[in-house]
A and B are shown apart, each in its own frame.
Chain A
Amino acid sequence: MSDHQEQVAVKEKPAEGFVPKIVAFTCNFCAYAAADLAGSTRTEYPVNIKLIRVPCTGRVDVVHLLKAFEHGADGVYVAGCLEGNCHFAEGNYWAKRRVRYAKKILDEIGVGSRRLEMFNLSAAMFGRFVEVANIMNDRITEMGPSPLNKK
């Protein structure tokens, strides 16, 4: 996952009214497959959510989460395997800890920790994937654009 990929993911033209730019870091073995399944079953989820596929959520570092906000994301979430079911044993636990750490930084810099979240789901849970996408979309829409995008 390169910086370029991140920038492409968030530099979409805003539609009328506020449509948040949301970046989702999704694990190849669960959330990404669940998104695929949602597509196969023609279940809709918000189009303004841009997925970044990672080999495991353990690959996601604090700096990736911050860079997403720096490059214009209004919300970011990480979707990994169910706890205890990580393909690499404990990558999703690492991700959860890093999300917690990044939340602290987001509060400190005034972006707000609610703009970042971690979710756990399995490859079969496409319904949950759509639900999570809607939860984040609704939350960020309600919160409005990131303070960095207002200036």
Chain B
Amino acid sequence: MIVAEQKPMEEIAEMIKDFNKILILGCGGCVSVCLSGGEKEVGIMASALKMFVKNNQNRDIEIKEMTISRQCDWEYFDMVKDAMAEVEACVCIGCGAGVQGLVDVYPNVPIFPGLNTGGLAVGKVPGVWEERCAGCGNCILHLTGGLCPIARCSKHILNGPCGGSEKGMCEVDPKTIECVWHLIYERLKSIGKLDNIYKIMPMKDWSTSSDGGVRHLTREDMAKLDAEEEHKKNVELEKKAEEAEAAAKSQG
């Protein structure tokens, strides 16, 4: 899931200093699970923010509290239409994608981020989350026994471990950071795939990560076109198929 943590109250109060009626909008998805942006956290932030503003900016503000199931799909944004019309600004405590989703739908309402979004993580023990995926767009987990060196190695190296691995810990912080290449070695050993570690991995193709601007994911069969456009596309594809058929016949 996506993990995030709350911004300092001072920073949030500074963002909303010109507004008196605010909506704090939570998300029932990932940030709810990592206890930073769900319904309960909306309540806590609303109460704390009211007191902070009264204490430090000497004024009373009105806060509306709402939480929607997800902040990354259009159909849920409609649910806050009425609330958005009533308020002057919105503090969104979803992930960064949530904030920008709202910005697209409500161009006239200032939307502020209430969280710092961390990354893709799993829960280790209750209350502790650790990053597991860097979203690089080119997965190599099948080669590394299911443990990711891109997300979990401090140097992101592909042919480890490096000289800084000692007793299974990383030199960057030997107390808290495990050497993922040590873990990969142990894991490959236990599943009988130790020969994988002798294979030299070539330089990683980063074109799927940060090359070519914003990344899009498209499923053509799900992407809805308008009827006219769809008809045109179908005619075009049929024409191409006929041509291919004719070419195959003439060759045969």
Interface residues of A (CB under 8 A from B): 61-63, 66-67, 69-70, 105, 108-111, 147-148, 151
Contact = CB atoms under 8 A, between A and B. Distances in A.
A63 B54 contact: no
Nearest to B42: A63
B52 A63 contact: no
Given A63-B47, A109-B51, A148-B51, 7 more contacts: A70-B50, A70-B51, A108-B52, A109-B55, A109-B56, A148-B54, A151-B55
14 contacts: A62-B44, A63-B43, A63-B47, A66-B44, A105-B9, A105-B48, A108-B8, A108-B10, A109-B48, A109-B55, A110-B51, A148-B55, A151-B55, A151-B58
A66 B52 CA distance: 11
Contacts of A108: 8-10, 48, 52
A109 B43 CA distance: 15
B86 to A, nearest CB: 21
B9 A109 contact: yes
Nearest to A110: B55
A32 B41 CA distance: 29
B52 A109 contact: yes
A70 B50 CA distance: 8
Contacts of A61: 40
Given A61-B40, A109-B9, A67 B47 contact: yes
Interface in B31-87: 40, 43-44, 47-48, 50-52, 54-56, 58
Contact of A105 (B40, B44, B56, B58): B44
Contact of A66 (B10, B51, B58): B51
Contacts of A110: 51-52, 55-56
Interface in B193-216: none
A119 B14 CA distance: 36
A1 to B, nearest CB: 14
Contacts of A69: 51
A70 to B, nearest CB: 5
Contacts of A148: 51, 54-55
Contacts of B44: 62-63, 66, 105
Contacts of A63: 40, 43-44, 47
Interface string B1-34: 0000000111000000000000000000000000
Nearest to A105: B48
A3 to B, nearest CB: 11
A63 B48 CA distance: 9
A62 B42 CA distance: 12
Given A66-B47, A67-B47, A111 B40 contact: no
A71 B48 CA distance: 12
Nearest to B47: A66
A99 B9 CA distance: 18
